[in-house]
Amino acid sequence: MFYLSEKPTVKKLLIQTLLDVLLMPYGWATMPPVPPGLSEYTYKKILTDLGSSQSADYLEQLKLGIIKFLSNDALSDGDTLCPLIVGAADARFAVTNAAELQLRKIMGGIEWENATVLAPLFAVYMGSKEGTPDKHKEPASTRLRLKLLPYICKARKQAILWPISVRVLFDSLYGENTHVKLKAQALTFFSVIIQQVSASQLSVVANVLLTSGLMKLIAESDNEPSLKQQAYLTAG
């Protein structure tokens, strides 16, 4: 109906706009700070479009409308994956429930070896420094990272983007806002990297992954025995 496959530039802009709105927190306020996942430029634009008079309930309905659009086959399953994951991490149950329902429906149609499909997940997870400072995107919140990383762990072969996968791993293990659940997911991702990434790529970072990754985590996890055990299993 929308023929978006014939308009790649329009499609890309549309998906990004939908994603940005889904990333908006309900308790928005005047600048700063910029919410996780967004840039200053995008945040200001959405604030202007929403207007100060709009309520959190209005934003919830807007997000539900976006999830409904993402569920109507106007876009491919791969195109909707990242926005739906963001929706599934939302603070409002109605949005989370609608996004989770659609995610379950599209899982069988996702090409987990397609780097184009997985790239948005990595981008939202880590943020970016592309463009002018006001267009730099903040990394995802811990809540969203806990939703994103299990799907990133499904990536295969060339969809394990390199070297950003190493950054995802270390930021999940030692980042400022990490915690035990995210560390456990990171160890699962560590195993995926070892299994899926080529030997030539791994050889460059093998020592760093082992010493600054696993061995450091084992040494620092005396108060988290289950995590320490998982790290030993990953090393073995």
Strand partners, 39: 137
pLDDT for residue 135 is more than 50: yes
The per-residue DSSP string of 32-98 comes to SSPPTT-BHHHHHHHHHHH-TT--HHHHHHHHHHHHHHHTTTSS-HHHHHHHHHHHHT-SSHHHHHH
What distance, in Å, lies between the first and last C-alpha atoms of the chain? 52
What's the pTM? Answer: 0.93
DSSP category for residue 155: -
Task: Give the separation between CA 12 and CA 160, rounded to whole angstroms.
Answer: 22
Cα R_g (the chain), whole angstroms? 19
> What is the chain's percent helix, strand, coil content, to nearest 5?
70, 0, 30
- Residue located via tokens 């811990």: 142
159-196 pLDDT tens trace: 999 999 999 999 999 998 888 999 999 999 999 999 99
In the structure encoding, which two tokens stand for residue 119, read together? 């790239």
Task: Give the separation between CA 73 and CA 77, rounded to whole angstroms.
Answer: 8
Under the banding of pLDDT at 50, 70 and 90, the label for residue 223 is confident
